[in-house]
Structure 1
Amino acid sequence: MTKDKNPDRHPSGAPWRNFYGRFKGHTMRDSQQAYIDEDLAKLAPANVTWEENPDRNPIDLDALFGGKEVWLEIGFGGGEHLVHMAARNPQVGIIGCEPYINGVAMLLGKIRQADVSNLSVHPGDARDLFDVLPDASLSKVFLNYPDPWPKKRHHRRRFVTPEHLEPLHRVMKPGAELRVATDIKDYVRQTLEEVPKAGFVWTAEAPDDWRTPWDDWISTRYEQKAIREDRTPHYLTFRRT
Protein backbone atom coordinates (compact mmCIF):
# COMPACT_ATOMS: atom_id res chain seq x y z
CA MET A 1 0.00 0.00 0.00
CA THR A 2 1.30 3.46 -0.89
CA LYS A 3 1.64 5.69 2.14
CA ASP A 4 -0.36 8.92 2.03
CA LYS A 5 2.20 11.68 1.48
CA ASN A 6 -0.15 14.35 2.76
CA PRO A 7 -2.16 12.94 5.70
CA ASP A 8 -3.47 16.40 6.65
CA ARG A 9 -5.72 16.48 3.58
CA HIS A 10 -8.79 14.53 2.51
CA PRO A 11 -8.49 12.57 -0.79
CA SER A 12 -10.63 15.30 -2.38
CA GLY A 13 -7.91 17.85 -1.61
CA ALA A 14 -9.80 19.48 1.26
CA PRO A 15 -8.11 20.12 4.61
CA TRP A 16 -8.73 17.23 6.98
CA ARG A 17 -10.89 18.88 9.64
CA ASN A 18 -12.40 17.25 12.66
CA PHE A 19 -16.09 17.99 13.10
CA TYR A 20 -17.58 17.40 16.55
CA GLY A 21 -21.24 18.33 16.14
CA ARG A 22 -24.15 16.40 14.66
CA PHE A 23 -25.00 16.28 10.98
CA LYS A 24 -28.35 14.52 11.41
CA GLY A 25 -30.72 13.67 14.25
CA HIS A 26 -34.11 11.97 14.32
CA THR A 27 -35.88 10.94 11.13
CA MET A 28 -37.39 13.96 9.43
CA ARG A 29 -41.07 14.27 8.65
CA ASP A 30 -42.12 13.88 5.03
CA SER A 31 -42.76 17.62 4.79
CA GLN A 32 -39.26 18.42 6.08
CA GLN A 33 -37.67 16.01 3.62
CA ALA A 34 -39.66 17.71 0.86
CA TYR A 35 -38.20 21.08 1.89
CA ILE A 36 -34.70 19.59 1.56
CA ASP A 37 -35.45 17.97 -1.79
CA GLU A 38 -37.29 20.91 -3.32
CA ASP A 39 -35.73 24.06 -1.84
CA LEU A 40 -32.19 23.50 -0.58
CA ALA A 41 -30.42 23.31 -3.95
CA LYS A 42 -32.00 26.62 -4.98
CA LEU A 43 -30.87 28.39 -1.82
CA ALA A 44 -27.39 26.93 -1.31
CA PRO A 45 -24.53 29.19 -2.48
CA ALA A 46 -22.62 27.70 -5.42
CA ASN A 47 -18.95 26.76 -5.40
CA VAL A 48 -18.56 26.12 -1.67
CA THR A 49 -17.79 22.40 -1.80
CA TRP A 50 -14.43 21.04 -2.95
CA GLU A 51 -16.17 19.07 -5.69
CA GLU A 52 -17.62 22.29 -7.14
CA ASN A 53 -14.62 24.51 -6.48
CA PRO A 54 -11.37 22.56 -5.98
CA ASP A 55 -9.25 25.69 -6.52
CA ARG A 56 -11.12 27.51 -3.74
CA ASN A 57 -11.91 30.54 -5.88
CA PRO A 58 -13.97 33.19 -4.03
CA ILE A 59 -17.72 32.85 -4.50
CA ASP A 60 -19.54 35.63 -6.35
CA LEU A 61 -21.64 37.39 -3.72
CA ASP A 62 -22.88 39.98 -6.23
CA ALA A 63 -24.35 37.19 -8.33
CA LEU A 64 -25.83 35.61 -5.20
CA PHE A 65 -27.48 38.74 -3.79
CA GLY A 66 -27.46 41.30 -6.58
CA GLY A 67 -24.90 43.60 -4.99
CA LYS A 68 -26.57 43.79 -1.58
CA GLU A 69 -24.67 44.13 1.68
CA VAL A 70 -24.00 40.63 3.06
CA TRP A 71 -24.49 39.28 6.59
CA LEU A 72 -23.81 35.81 8.00
CA GLU A 73 -25.37 33.73 10.77
CA ILE A 74 -23.18 30.88 12.02
CA GLY A 75 -25.16 27.93 13.37
CA PHE A 76 -28.74 29.11 12.94
CA GLY A 77 -30.37 26.23 14.84
CA GLY A 78 -34.04 26.17 13.89
CA GLY A 79 -33.78 29.38 11.88
CA GLU A 80 -36.03 31.71 13.93
CA HIS A 81 -33.48 34.51 14.20
CA LEU A 82 -32.26 34.13 10.62
CA VAL A 83 -35.72 34.44 9.07
CA HIS A 84 -36.60 37.30 11.43
CA MET A 85 -33.52 39.26 10.37
CA ALA A 86 -34.12 38.56 6.67
CA ALA A 87 -37.72 39.75 6.85
CA ARG A 88 -36.70 42.84 8.83
CA ASN A 89 -33.81 43.73 6.49
CA PRO A 90 -34.82 43.06 2.87
CA GLN A 91 -32.09 45.45 1.72
CA VAL A 92 -29.34 42.96 2.71
CA GLY A 93 -28.50 39.39 1.74
CA ILE A 94 -27.97 36.93 4.58
CA ILE A 95 -26.17 33.58 4.48
CA GLY A 96 -27.14 31.04 7.10
CA CYS A 97 -24.62 28.31 7.92
CA GLU A 98 -25.71 25.13 9.73
CA PRO A 99 -24.38 21.56 9.36
CA TYR A 100 -27.29 19.92 11.25
CA ILE A 101 -29.63 18.90 8.44
CA ASN A 102 -32.71 18.69 10.70
CA GLY A 103 -32.21 22.36 11.57
CA VAL A 104 -31.80 23.17 7.88
CA ALA A 105 -35.15 21.50 7.18
CA MET A 106 -36.80 23.55 9.94
CA LEU A 107 -35.37 26.73 8.45
CA LEU A 108 -36.58 25.91 4.94
CA GLY A 109 -40.11 25.51 6.26
CA LYS A 110 -39.90 28.90 7.97
CA ILE A 111 -38.58 30.49 4.76
CA ARG A 112 -41.64 29.22 2.88
CA GLN A 113 -43.98 30.59 5.53
CA ALA A 114 -42.27 33.99 5.73
CA ASP A 115 -41.83 34.27 1.93
CA VAL A 116 -38.39 35.89 2.20
CA SER A 117 -36.07 35.89 -0.80
CA ASN A 118 -32.85 37.43 0.56
CA LEU A 119 -31.47 34.28 2.20
CA SER A 120 -28.89 31.72 1.16
CA VAL A 121 -28.31 28.48 3.10
CA HIS A 122 -25.01 26.64 3.48
CA PRO A 123 -25.77 23.20 4.99
CA GLY A 124 -22.27 22.53 6.26
CA ASP A 125 -19.22 23.58 8.25
CA ALA A 126 -18.63 27.33 8.51
CA ARG A 127 -14.91 26.76 7.90
CA ASP A 128 -15.65 25.55 4.37
CA LEU A 129 -17.61 28.74 3.72
CA PHE A 130 -14.77 30.89 5.10
CA ASP A 131 -12.46 29.24 2.54
CA VAL A 132 -14.41 30.75 -0.35
CA LEU A 133 -15.81 34.02 0.98
CA PRO A 134 -14.00 37.07 -0.45
CA ASP A 135 -11.83 39.11 1.88
CA ALA A 136 -13.67 41.91 3.72
CA SER A 137 -17.05 40.89 2.32
CA LEU A 138 -19.29 40.63 5.43
CA SER A 139 -20.85 43.60 7.22
CA LYS A 140 -22.41 41.75 10.14
CA VAL A 141 -22.06 38.28 11.68
CA PHE A 142 -24.25 36.51 14.26
CA LEU A 143 -23.18 33.69 16.58
CA ASN A 144 -26.24 32.85 18.68
CA TYR A 145 -26.13 30.24 21.44
CA PRO A 146 -23.27 28.20 19.97
CA ASP A 147 -22.56 24.70 21.22
CA PRO A 148 -21.06 25.32 24.69
CA TRP A 149 -18.85 22.21 24.90
CA PRO A 150 -18.93 22.53 28.71
CA LYS A 151 -16.15 20.07 29.59
CA LYS A 152 -12.78 21.81 29.93
CA ARG A 153 -11.02 19.34 27.65
CA HIS A 154 -13.53 20.20 24.91
CA HIS A 155 -13.14 24.01 25.05
CA ARG A 156 -10.88 23.88 21.99
CA ARG A 157 -13.95 22.70 20.04
CA ARG A 158 -15.79 25.97 20.68
CA PHE A 159 -16.22 28.43 17.85
CA VAL A 160 -14.33 31.16 19.70
CA THR A 161 -10.89 29.71 18.93
CA PRO A 162 -8.23 30.91 16.47
CA GLU A 163 -9.16 28.19 13.96
CA HIS A 164 -12.49 29.95 13.40
CA LEU A 165 -11.81 33.53 14.45
CA GLU A 166 -8.81 34.18 12.23
CA PRO A 167 -10.61 33.35 8.94
CA LEU A 168 -13.72 35.12 10.25
CA HIS A 169 -11.68 38.27 10.75
CA ARG A 170 -10.38 37.99 7.19
CA VAL A 171 -13.84 37.84 5.60
CA MET A 172 -15.35 40.67 7.66
CA LYS A 173 -15.10 44.30 6.61
CA PRO A 174 -13.22 46.78 8.81
CA GLY A 175 -15.74 48.07 11.33
CA ALA A 176 -18.10 45.14 10.74
CA GLU A 177 -20.17 43.97 13.71
CA LEU A 178 -19.90 40.57 15.37
CA ARG A 179 -22.69 39.61 17.77
CA VAL A 180 -22.35 36.72 20.21
CA ALA A 181 -25.29 35.57 22.36
CA THR A 182 -24.72 32.88 24.99
CA ASP A 183 -26.05 31.79 28.36
CA ILE A 184 -22.86 29.98 29.42
CA LYS A 185 -20.64 32.05 31.73
CA ASP A 186 -17.46 30.24 30.79
CA TYR A 187 -18.26 30.76 27.11
CA VAL A 188 -18.48 34.47 27.88
CA ARG A 189 -15.05 34.26 29.53
CA GLN A 190 -13.47 32.51 26.55
CA THR A 191 -15.18 34.85 24.09
CA LEU A 192 -13.86 37.94 25.88
CA GLU A 193 -10.38 36.43 25.96
CA GLU A 194 -10.12 35.10 22.42
CA VAL A 195 -12.18 37.42 20.20
CA PRO A 196 -10.11 40.56 20.94
CA LYS A 197 -6.91 38.58 20.24
CA ALA A 198 -8.28 37.87 16.76
CA GLY A 199 -8.64 41.57 15.91
CA PHE A 200 -11.99 42.62 17.38
CA VAL A 201 -12.94 45.26 19.96
CA TRP A 202 -15.66 44.68 22.56
CA THR A 203 -17.97 47.69 22.36
CA ALA A 204 -19.59 47.50 25.81
CA GLU A 205 -19.33 50.63 27.96
CA ALA A 206 -21.78 49.70 30.72
CA PRO A 207 -23.37 46.48 32.09
CA ASP A 208 -26.62 47.07 30.21
CA ASP A 209 -24.65 46.77 26.96
CA TRP A 210 -24.27 43.02 27.53
CA ARG A 211 -27.29 42.39 29.76
CA THR A 212 -29.85 43.85 27.35
CA PRO A 213 -30.59 42.25 23.97
CA TRP A 214 -30.16 44.15 20.75
CA ASP A 215 -33.11 46.28 19.58
CA ASP A 216 -33.81 43.91 16.67
CA TRP A 217 -33.33 40.72 18.67
CA ILE A 218 -35.86 37.88 18.62
CA SER A 219 -35.70 35.35 21.44
CA THR A 220 -35.04 31.83 20.14
CA ARG A 221 -36.04 28.45 21.54
CA TYR A 222 -32.49 28.03 22.83
CA GLU A 223 -32.73 31.25 24.78
CA GLN A 224 -36.14 30.34 26.19
CA LYS A 225 -34.70 27.03 27.39
CA ALA A 226 -31.81 28.86 29.05
CA ILE A 227 -34.19 31.21 30.86
CA ARG A 228 -36.38 28.30 32.02
CA GLU A 229 -33.26 26.64 33.42
CA ASP A 230 -32.25 29.87 35.21
CA ARG A 231 -29.24 30.70 33.05
CA THR A 232 -28.60 34.35 32.21
CA PRO A 233 -28.30 35.38 28.56
CA HIS A 234 -25.34 37.59 27.60
CA TYR A 235 -25.30 39.76 24.48
CA LEU A 236 -21.76 40.64 23.38
CA THR A 237 -21.02 43.04 20.54
CA PHE A 238 -17.62 43.38 18.86
CA ARG A 239 -16.23 45.48 16.02
CA ARG A 240 -13.71 44.15 13.54
CA THR A 241 -10.62 46.37 13.68
Structure 2
Amino acid sequence: MSSEENKSAAEWGPMRSFGRIKSRKLKPQQANLFETLLPQIEASDAHVTEALDSGRELWLEIGFGGGEHLAAQAAKNPQVTFIGCEPFLNGVGSALRHIDEVGLENVLILANDARPLLDRLPPASLNRIFILFADPWPKARHNKRRFVQPETVAAFARVLKAGGAVRFATDWANYADWALERFLACPDFEWPAQGQADWNAPPADHVTTRYETKGLGDCRPVFFDFIRR
Protein backbone atom coordinates (compact mmCIF):
# COMPACT_ATOMS: atom_id res chain seq x y z
CA MET A 1 0.00 0.00 0.00
CA SER A 2 1.32 3.43 -0.90
CA SER A 3 2.07 6.18 1.61
CA GLU A 4 -0.77 8.16 0.04
CA GLU A 5 -3.27 5.48 1.07
CA ASN A 6 -1.90 5.41 4.63
CA LYS A 7 -2.74 9.04 5.30
CA SER A 8 -5.31 9.81 7.96
CA ALA A 9 -8.40 11.84 7.17
CA ALA A 10 -6.86 14.84 8.94
CA GLU A 11 -3.72 14.60 6.80
CA TRP A 12 -5.75 14.38 3.64
CA GLY A 13 -7.04 17.88 4.22
CA PRO A 14 -10.47 19.47 3.91
CA MET A 15 -12.15 17.04 1.50
CA ARG A 16 -15.82 17.81 2.02
CA SER A 17 -18.02 14.84 1.19
CA PHE A 18 -21.27 16.59 2.11
CA GLY A 19 -23.14 19.69 1.00
CA ARG A 20 -25.13 22.08 3.14
CA ILE A 21 -25.36 21.40 6.88
CA LYS A 22 -28.77 22.98 7.39
CA SER A 23 -31.72 23.72 5.09
CA ARG A 24 -34.51 25.04 7.26
CA LYS A 25 -35.16 26.13 10.81
CA LEU A 26 -35.29 23.24 13.22
CA LYS A 27 -38.72 22.36 14.56
CA PRO A 28 -39.19 23.29 18.22
CA GLN A 29 -39.14 19.63 19.33
CA GLN A 30 -35.92 18.98 17.44
CA ALA A 31 -34.28 22.15 18.71
CA ASN A 32 -35.17 21.13 22.25
CA LEU A 33 -33.65 17.66 21.72
CA PHE A 34 -30.40 19.29 20.59
CA GLU A 35 -30.28 20.94 24.01
CA THR A 36 -31.52 18.06 26.15
CA LEU A 37 -30.90 14.68 24.47
CA LEU A 38 -27.86 15.23 22.26
CA PRO A 39 -25.45 16.06 25.12
CA GLN A 40 -26.39 12.75 26.77
CA ILE A 41 -25.74 10.62 23.67
CA GLU A 42 -23.10 12.65 21.86
CA ALA A 43 -20.25 10.52 20.48
CA SER A 44 -17.66 12.25 22.65
CA ASP A 45 -14.34 10.61 23.41
CA ALA A 46 -15.63 9.63 26.84
CA HIS A 47 -18.84 8.07 25.52
CA VAL A 48 -17.05 6.23 22.71
CA THR A 49 -14.44 4.89 25.15
CA GLU A 50 -17.21 3.69 27.43
CA ALA A 51 -18.85 1.91 24.49
CA LEU A 52 -15.55 0.29 23.52
CA ASP A 53 -14.92 -0.87 27.09
CA SER A 54 -18.40 -2.38 27.43
CA GLY A 55 -17.56 -5.43 25.34
CA ARG A 56 -20.68 -4.92 23.22
CA GLU A 57 -20.57 -4.99 19.43
CA LEU A 58 -20.09 -1.54 17.93
CA TRP A 59 -21.73 -0.60 14.61
CA LEU A 60 -21.19 2.67 12.75
CA GLU A 61 -23.50 4.38 10.25
CA ILE A 62 -21.89 7.12 8.19
CA GLY A 63 -24.33 9.70 6.85
CA PHE A 64 -27.55 8.46 8.43
CA GLY A 65 -29.80 11.04 6.73
CA GLY A 66 -33.01 11.31 8.73
CA GLY A 67 -32.01 8.50 11.08
CA GLU A 68 -34.73 6.01 10.09
CA HIS A 69 -32.31 3.18 9.34
CA LEU A 70 -30.15 3.97 12.37
CA ALA A 71 -33.10 3.97 14.79
CA ALA A 72 -34.69 0.85 13.30
CA GLN A 73 -31.44 -1.12 13.44
CA ALA A 74 -30.82 0.01 17.01
CA ALA A 75 -34.32 -1.08 18.02
CA LYS A 76 -33.84 -4.49 16.35
CA ASN A 77 -30.39 -5.00 17.90
CA PRO A 78 -30.50 -3.77 21.51
CA GLN A 79 -27.36 -5.78 22.32
CA VAL A 80 -25.34 -3.56 19.93
CA THR A 81 -24.10 0.00 20.45
CA PHE A 82 -24.58 2.20 17.39
CA ILE A 83 -22.66 5.31 16.44
CA GLY A 84 -24.33 7.49 13.83
CA CYS A 85 -22.49 10.31 12.04
CA GLU A 86 -24.31 13.03 10.09
CA PRO A 87 -23.21 16.64 9.46
CA PHE A 88 -26.65 17.76 8.18
CA LEU A 89 -28.29 19.26 11.26
CA ASN A 90 -31.87 18.78 10.11
CA GLY A 91 -31.10 15.08 9.69
CA VAL A 92 -29.61 14.98 13.18
CA GLY A 93 -32.77 16.61 14.52
CA SER A 94 -34.88 13.95 12.81
CA ALA A 95 -32.71 11.16 14.22
CA LEU A 96 -32.96 12.60 17.73
CA ARG A 97 -36.74 12.56 17.41
CA HIS A 98 -36.72 8.89 16.38
CA ILE A 99 -34.38 8.00 19.25
CA ASP A 100 -36.49 9.91 21.75
CA GLU A 101 -39.82 8.48 20.56
CA VAL A 102 -38.62 4.87 20.75
CA GLY A 103 -36.61 5.43 23.93
CA LEU A 104 -33.42 3.99 22.47
CA GLU A 105 -30.48 3.72 24.85
CA ASN A 106 -27.89 2.16 22.54
CA VAL A 107 -27.17 5.02 20.12
CA LEU A 108 -24.43 7.66 20.08
CA ILE A 109 -24.65 10.61 17.68
CA LEU A 110 -21.88 12.62 16.06
CA ALA A 111 -23.27 15.71 14.32
CA ASN A 112 -20.22 16.03 12.11
CA ASP A 113 -17.97 14.43 9.50
CA ALA A 114 -17.17 10.79 10.31
CA ARG A 115 -13.52 10.89 9.26
CA PRO A 116 -12.07 12.39 12.48
CA LEU A 117 -13.93 9.71 14.43
CA LEU A 118 -12.43 7.00 12.21
CA ASP A 119 -8.99 8.41 12.95
CA ARG A 120 -9.61 8.24 16.73
CA LEU A 121 -11.03 4.73 16.87
CA PRO A 122 -8.56 2.02 17.86
CA PRO A 123 -7.76 -0.79 15.42
CA ALA A 124 -10.26 -3.65 15.17
CA SER A 125 -12.91 -1.84 17.21
CA LEU A 126 -15.97 -2.00 14.93
CA ASN A 127 -18.10 -4.93 13.84
CA ARG A 128 -20.09 -3.26 11.06
CA ILE A 129 -20.13 -0.06 9.02
CA PHE A 130 -23.06 1.24 6.95
CA ILE A 131 -22.76 3.78 4.11
CA LEU A 132 -26.22 3.96 2.62
CA PHE A 133 -27.20 6.21 -0.30
CA ALA A 134 -24.48 8.75 0.36
CA ASP A 135 -24.22 11.88 -1.76
CA PRO A 136 -23.08 10.50 -5.16
CA TRP A 137 -21.46 13.70 -6.39
CA PRO A 138 -22.27 12.55 -9.95
CA LYS A 139 -20.33 15.19 -11.86
CA ALA A 140 -16.84 13.93 -12.69
CA ARG A 141 -15.16 17.05 -11.32
CA HIS A 142 -16.83 16.42 -7.97
CA ASN A 143 -16.00 12.69 -7.68
CA LYS A 144 -13.16 13.54 -5.29
CA ARG A 145 -15.85 14.53 -2.76
CA ARG A 146 -17.31 11.04 -2.60
CA PHE A 147 -16.88 9.51 0.82
CA VAL A 148 -15.55 6.24 -0.57
CA GLN A 149 -11.92 6.92 -1.45
CA PRO A 150 -8.77 4.75 -1.12
CA GLU A 151 -7.91 6.45 2.17
CA THR A 152 -11.36 5.92 3.71
CA VAL A 153 -11.41 2.28 2.59
CA ALA A 154 -8.02 1.86 4.29
CA ALA A 155 -9.50 3.48 7.43
CA PHE A 156 -12.41 1.04 7.37
CA ALA A 157 -9.96 -1.87 7.16
CA ARG A 158 -8.05 -0.54 10.15
CA VAL A 159 -11.04 -0.10 12.46
CA LEU A 160 -12.98 -3.25 11.50
CA LYS A 161 -12.52 -6.55 13.27
CA ALA A 162 -11.72 -9.61 11.19
CA GLY A 163 -14.99 -10.81 9.70
CA GLY A 164 -16.55 -7.37 10.13
CA ALA A 165 -18.43 -5.86 7.22
CA VAL A 166 -19.00 -2.63 5.34
CA ARG A 167 -22.40 -2.32 3.68
CA PHE A 168 -22.42 0.18 0.84
CA ALA A 169 -25.67 0.99 -0.97
CA THR A 170 -26.38 3.41 -3.78
CA ASP A 171 -28.82 4.03 -6.61
CA TRP A 172 -26.22 5.68 -8.83
CA ALA A 173 -24.55 3.24 -11.24
CA ASN A 174 -21.29 5.17 -11.50
CA TYR A 175 -20.91 5.38 -7.71
CA ALA A 176 -21.56 1.62 -7.46
CA ASP A 177 -18.75 0.96 -9.96
CA TRP A 178 -16.53 3.49 -8.16
CA ALA A 179 -17.03 1.90 -4.74
CA LEU A 180 -16.59 -1.64 -6.04
CA GLU A 181 -13.31 -0.74 -7.72
CA ARG A 182 -11.89 0.89 -4.59
CA PHE A 183 -12.92 -1.83 -2.16
CA LEU A 184 -11.62 -4.60 -4.42
CA ALA A 185 -8.32 -2.74 -4.77
CA CYS A 186 -7.84 -3.07 -1.00
CA PRO A 187 -6.38 -6.49 -0.09
CA ASP A 188 -8.02 -6.34 3.34
CA PHE A 189 -11.52 -6.77 1.90
CA GLU A 190 -13.30 -9.53 0.05
CA TRP A 191 -16.63 -9.40 -1.75
CA PRO A 192 -18.45 -12.72 -1.35
CA ALA A 193 -21.22 -12.05 -3.90
CA GLN A 194 -21.91 -14.98 -6.24
CA GLY A 195 -24.46 -13.50 -8.60
CA GLN A 196 -26.57 -10.49 -9.50
CA ALA A 197 -29.19 -11.27 -6.88
CA ASP A 198 -26.53 -10.74 -4.21
CA TRP A 199 -26.33 -7.04 -4.99
CA ASN A 200 -29.69 -6.20 -6.60
CA ALA A 201 -31.87 -7.57 -3.78
CA PRO A 202 -31.93 -5.78 -0.41
CA PRO A 203 -30.20 -7.85 2.31
CA ALA A 204 -32.51 -9.60 4.73
CA ASP A 205 -31.68 -7.16 7.55
CA HIS A 206 -31.90 -4.01 5.44
CA VAL A 207 -34.27 -1.24 6.55
CA THR A 208 -35.80 0.71 3.66
CA THR A 209 -36.09 4.46 4.26
CA ARG A 210 -38.28 7.11 2.69
CA TYR A 211 -35.27 8.59 0.93
CA GLU A 212 -34.50 5.26 -0.73
CA THR A 213 -38.07 4.89 -2.00
CA LYS A 214 -37.86 8.25 -3.78
CA GLY A 215 -35.62 6.68 -6.41
CA LEU A 216 -33.56 9.79 -7.05
CA GLY A 217 -30.67 7.93 -8.68
CA ASP A 218 -30.22 6.52 -12.17
CA CYS A 219 -30.45 2.79 -11.34
CA ARG A 220 -32.10 0.33 -9.02
CA PRO A 221 -30.57 0.25 -5.54
CA VAL A 222 -27.35 -1.73 -5.37
CA PHE A 223 -26.15 -3.32 -2.11
CA PHE A 224 -22.55 -4.39 -1.54
CA ASP A 225 -21.34 -6.15 1.61
CA PHE A 226 -17.54 -6.10 1.85
CA ILE A 227 -15.99 -8.42 4.45
CA ARG A 228 -12.80 -7.66 6.39
CA ARG A 229 -10.39 -10.54 5.87
Q: Give TM-score scaled by structure 1 length.
A: 0.84
- 1:141-180 equivalences under 5 Å are 141-180=129-168
Contact 2:170–2:221, Cα closer than 8 Å, also in 1: yes
Q: Give the aligned partner of residue 215 of structure 1.
A: 204
What 5-or-longer segments of structure 2 have no aligned partner?
A: 1-9
What is the CA–CA distance in structure 1 between the aligned matches of 2:42 and 2:170, rounded to whole Å? 27
Superposed, which structure 2 residues align to 1:17-28 within 5 Å?
A: 17-21=14-18, 22-28=20-26
How many Å separate the matches in 1 of 2:35 and 2:144? 35
The Cα shift of 1:97 comes to 0.7
TM superposition shift of 1:235: 1.0
Match of 1:52 in 2: none
2:70 pairs with 1:61: no
Output one character per residue of 1:37-63: Cα deviation in whole Å (capped at 9) or x when no partner. 111111112228xxxxxxxxx844335
The letter for the 2-side match of 1:219 is: T
> Are positions 1:191 and 2:179 aligned together?
yes
> Which residue, 87, 92, 97 being the options, matches 1:99?
87
Distance 1:17 1:138 in 2: 25
The yes-or-no answer on 1:232 pairing with 2:220 is: yes
CA contact (8 A) 1:59 1:134 kept: no
Residue 110 in 1 paired to residue 108 in 2? Answer: no
More contact order relative to length (CA 8 Å, sep ≥ 6): 2
Contact 2:15 2:145 in 1 (8 A): no
- One-letter amino acid matched to 2:194: E
SS, match of residue 226 in structure 1: coil
Q: Deviations over 1:111-168 (max 9, x none)?
A: 0111111111111111110111111011111110010000011111111102321112
Report the CA distance between 1:221 and its aligned residue.
1.6
SS of aligned partner of 2:165: strand
Tell me how far apart the structure 1 counterparts of residues 95 and 51 of structure 2 sit (CA, whole Å).
21
Contact 1:159/1:165, CA 8 A, preserved across alignment: no
State how far apart, in whole Å, the 2-side matches of 1:70 and 1:20 are.
24
Tell me if structure 2 keeps the 8 A contact 1:78–1:103: yes
What does residue 53 of structure 1 align with?
A: none
Q: What is the 5 A alignment of 1:125-140? A: 125-140=113-128
- In 2, distance between residues paired with 1:142 and 1:25? 24
Going from structure 1 to structure 2, the CA distance change for 1:190 and 1:230 (only over 3 Å counts) comes to: closer
Q: Quick one: structure 1 residues 193 and 19, their matched pair in 2 at CA, closer, same or farther if it must change by over 3 Å?
A: same
Q: What do residues 38-96 of structure 1 show as CA deviations (whole Å, max 9, x unaligned)?
A: 11111112228xxxxxxxxx844335xx3211111010000010011001011111110
Work out whether residues 52 and 125 of structure 2, in 8 Å CA contact, stay in contact via their aligned partners in 1: no
Q: Percent identity?
A: 40
Q: Which amino acid aligns with 2:51?
A: L
Alignment root-mean-square deviation, CA: 1.8
Shift of 1:20: 4.6
CA contact (8 A) 2:166 2:227 kept: yes
Given the alignment of the two structures, is residue 38 of structure 1 paired with residue 36 of structure 2, yes or no?
yes
Tell whether 2:207 aligns with 1:206.
Answer: no
Aligned length: 216
